[in-house]
Structure 1
Amino acid sequence: MDDGDEGDRFADAIRILLLIAAVAEELDPAAAASAPRGAVAVLYAEGRLQKLDFWLRNPDYLADELLNDYERCLTDVEERAHAPILLDLAGEILDSDEPEVCSIPMVRYLFGAFESLDRTLSVLVAPRLLVVTQRRTAHRVLQDNYYLTERGREVAAQATAQFPELRWYTERALLVKALADGSGHSALALRRRQYLQRDYAETPLKEVIPSIAARARARLAQLRAADVEEPVA
C-alpha cells in the first residue's frame, strides 16, 4: 500500500468518526444494557450510514435538499418563518467553493450511493473508537450497528480542537442529521429522498454520481430573486 492510499484511509476514518459522533443516538438505559462495553451512542444500519455520508461528501446535493425544504416551508404557514434560515444555509454552501473543494464523489449501485467502508472502519475499530456489531440470521447479515465509544467521542473532540478545519465535518454532519430527521430515520426513507434527485437517479449503475453544483447555484439565484420580489413573511 502506498502512502497516499494510507493517507486517504486515515482521512476517510476521521470523516466517518466525526459523522458518527455528530449523528449517533445516545443510548437509553435499555439499549445501554445490551451495548458493547464503553459504548455511549449508536448509529443503526450501514444503509443509513452510507446515505448520511453521501450528503456529507456531496455539499451540492446537501444544499439542493435544503432548497427543497425551503420551498416546502414557503407553503406551510407554521414552518414559513424557518424558510429564510434554509435559504441562508444553502447559500453558505453554494456561494463558496465548498461543492468543488470538499466533494468526494460516490458510485451509484442498485440501492443508491455506496462505498465499501471495511478498510476505513478498521482504522476506528482497532483502537476501539467504534464497535461494529451485526444482527444476523444463520445465513446472512440483517443489519450492522455502529457504536461510538467514550474513547471515540474523546478522540473526535480532540481532533476538532487540535485541527479547527475539521470542525467543518461536524458542522455539516449536524446539518445532515437535521435533514435526515426531517426525512425519516430509516435507510429506506433516506434512499427514497435521494432518488428524487434526477441526476442521482439517472446515474448508470457503477458510475460516479455527477455534481449538480451549477444547477443548484442557478436554482439558488432564482429563489433569491423571487424572495426579493415577494419577501418571506
Structure 2
Amino acid sequence: MVATPGDGDPFFDAVRLLLLLEAAATEPDLRTPEVVPADAVGVVRTQTLLQKLDFWLRYPDYLADELLTEYERSGEAVLLDIAAEILNSDEPELRQIPMLRYKFGAYEPLDMPMSVLSVAGLAVVRWSRTEQRVRHYDYYLTARGRATAQSCVADFPELAWYGERTRLVVALAQGTGSTGTALRKRQYLQRDYAGTGLNEEIASIAERARRRLRASRAAAGVSAS
C-alpha cells in the first residue's frame, strides 16, 4: 500500500503541510527584506492559521459540515454537491488524521515536519518572541517548495486528493474569514469540537454530518441517492 501524508511519518506530515502551504500562501511583504527569505514566493502568517486549515484537511467530516453551513447561508448548490461527495463516501473514515484539542483548539506540534521542509529548502520558518515565549510564526514557501509541491501532485497520483482538498479548504477559509483567529472562533462553534477535553482527541462527526446532509437534500428536493 502506498503511504499517504499523515501515516505517522514526519515525512508524510511534511508533504501534507507543503501542499497546504502552496495552496494557502499569499504574497510576502517585500518591504521587510531583513525578515523575508530571499527565495520566498509566498507566506502563511501565524501558526494558528496553519493549524486551523490543517484541521479541515485532516477531518473531512468537519469540512463537509462547514460546507453545509455555507450552503444554508448562500444557497449555492455546488456546496451541497461537494459535501455530498465527501459524506456519501468513506472519506471521513479513511482520510481522518486525528488531532488533539489544545487550549486554542485543534493542535499538533509542527516542529518536526517543518524541519523536514526547512532542511530540504522547501520552506522557511520565521518567528518573533518576547523574553517569555515565541509570539508569532510566519511560514514562508520557497520557489523550490512551490515547484516541489506542484510536481508531487503531478507525479504521484496518490497525492492528487491532497492537492485538490487543500484548494477547497483554502477557498472555504477565504470565504468565511481567513485569519487564524476567525477560523478558530468558527471551529469552536462546533459543539463536539468545543466539548472535547483538553489534550483529548477530537472525535469524528461523520454520522451527524450525514444526517444533516440528508435533511438538506430532502429540503432541497434532491434525491438521497
TM-score by length of 2: 0.91
Partner of 2:164: 171
Q: Aligned runs of 1:155-194 on 2, under 5 Å? A: 155-194=148-187
* 3-state secondary structure, aligned to 1:26: coil
Partner of 2:206: 213
User: How many percent of aligned residue pairs carry the same amino acid?
Assistant: 56
Structure 2 unaligned regions, length at least 5: 1-5
| Counterpart contact for 2:35–2:126, Cα < 8 Å | no
Counterpart residue identity of residue 20, structure 2: L
Give deviations 1:22-67, integer Å, cap 9, x for gaps: 1110235436674102100000000111000000000000000000
1:63 aligns with 2:64: yes
Give deviations 1:172-228, integer Å, cap 9, x for gaps: 111111111122122111110000001101111111110000111111011101101
Deviation at residue 167 of structure 1 after TM alignment: 1.6
Q: Aligned runs of 1:86-125 on 2, under 5 Å? A: 86-125=79-118
Q: Aligned runs of 1:144-155 on 2, under 5 Å? A: 144-155=137-148
| Counterpart contact for 2:30–2:36, Cα < 8 Å | no
* 3-state secondary structure, aligned to 1:185: coil
Counterpart residue identity of residue 147, structure 1: Y
| Counterpart contact for 1:99–1:213, Cα < 8 Å | yes
Give deviations 1:148-193, integer Å, cap 9, x for gaps: 0000011111111110221211211111111111221221111100
Deviation at residue 136 of structure 1 after TM alignment: 2.2
Counterpart residue identity of residue 30, structure 1: R
Q: Distance in 2 between matches of 1:211 and 1:224?
A: 21
Q: Distance in 1 between matches of 2:210 and 2:32?
A: 43
* 3-state secondary structure, aligned to 1:30: coil
Residues 182 and 32 (structure 1), Cα distance of their counterparts in 2 relative to 1, 3 Å cut: farther
Partner of 1:80: none
Q: Aligned runs of 1:16-55 on 2, under 5 Å? A: 16-27=17-28, 29-30=30-31, 34-55=35-56
| Counterpart contact for 1:32–1:40, Cα < 8 Å | no
Partner of 1:131: 124
Residues 157 and 136 (structure 1), Cα distance of their counterparts in 2 relative to 1, 3 Å cut: same
Residues 41 and 213 (structure 1), Cα distance of their counterparts in 2 relative to 1, 3 Å cut: same
| Counterpart contact for 1:45–1:144, Cα < 8 Å | yes
Counterpart residue identity of residue 10, structure 2: R
Q: What count of residue pairs does the alignment treat as equivalent? A: 217
Q: Distance in 2 between matches of 1:140 and 1:101?
A: 37
Q: Distance in 1 between matches of 2:169 and 2:137?
A: 20
Q: Give the counterpart of 1:198 among 183, 186, 191.
A: 191
* 3-state secondary structure, aligned to 1:135: strand
Q: Distance in 1 between matches of 2:72 and 2:81?
A: 13
Q: Distance in 2 between matches of 1:155 and 1:146?
A: 16
Give deviations 1:61-112, integer Å, cap 9, x for gaps: 00000000001113xxxxxxxx101001111111111101110011101110
Larger helix proportion of the pair: 1
Structure 1 unaligned regions, length at least 5: 75-82
